[in-house]
Amino acid sequence: MTNDSDDPILERLHRLRAMGADARAPERLWNAVRADIDRIPPSARGGWRHGVAIAAGVLLLAGGFAAGRLSAKAGSADSRARLEQPATLAVQQSSTQLVQALDALSAVDSVKPRVHDEHREVALVALGAVIAVGSAEYPLEMEQLFAATRHSLERAHGGLR
């Protein structure tokens, strides 16, 4: 179906393909690419750094839950209520650090925000998963968990603007 050598259209398409190597991008495009490249500091180059930052943030968050859960298990049922406050603080601190790490990356590497949006989405999904797992394991009300996380997200964003 695609190798009919008698087809004049195919001949013209093949000629067009052969000419492709002669295509030249305008100089202004290189200037734009070069300007973007110059804006990317060495520390921001390499996609693995985004992954490390996100993983570190998620680990921090998970660590907050784990610490809170261990504290709660160590105490009696009556003392759990008193442990809710430090656990909330741990969630706040962990999620704040995660968001700050993401925002710092976005600020440094602002060439294509869409790329960072993708990382941010992944991070927020991970954050949600950790919250879900943590709240199932830890005797803290879901509403309190989400309120604490939302508060720290808002505070982190507000502080950076």
Partner 1 sequence: MQSDASRERFEALYRDQAGRLLLMLMRLTGSREDGEDLTQETFIRGWRAWSSFRSSSQPSTWIHTIAMRAFADWCRAPARRTLDDAQQIDAAFGETIAAILPGTDRDLEEAIGRLPSQMRHAVVLHYLEGMPVDCVAKQLGKSSGTIKAQLFTARSRLREALKP
- Give the binding site for partner 1 (CB under 8 A): 1-2, 7-10, 12-17, 19-26, 29-30, 32-34, 36-37, 40, 42, 45-48, 111-112, 115
- Interaxial angle between packed helices 113-137 and 77-108, expressed in degrees from 0 to 180 and rounded to the nearest 10: 170
Q: How far is the CB of 9 from partner 1 (least distance, A)?
A: 5
Q: How far is the CB of 129 from partner 1 (least distance, A)?
A: 24
Q: Is 42 or 158 the residue whose CB approaches partner 1 more closely? A: 42
Q: Classify residue 64 as exposed, middle or buried by CB count within 10 Å of its CB (0-12, 13-18, 19+).
A: buried
- Least Å distance between CB 44 and partner 1? 8
Whose Cβ is closer to partner 1: residue 16's or residue 74's? Answer: 16
* Per-residue tokens: 59: 């680990």
- CB count within 10 Å of CB 15 equals 9
- Taking the least distance from each CB to partner 1, the nearer of 120 and 149 is 120
In degrees, rounded to 5, the angle at the alpha carbon of residue 99 between the alpha carbons of residues 58 and 149 is 80
Distant-in-sequence contacts of 115-118, Cβ < 8 A, 24+ apart: 116/50
What amino acid occupies position 127? L
- Tell me the closest approach of the beta carbon of residue 77 to partner 1, in angstroms: 49
User: Of 10 and 81, which has the nearer Cβ to partner 1?
Assistant: 10
Closest approach of Cβ 5 to partner 1, in Å? 13
Tell me whether residue 102 or residue 156 sits nearer to partner 1 (CB atom): 102
From the CA atom positions of the chain, what is the Rg in Å? 26
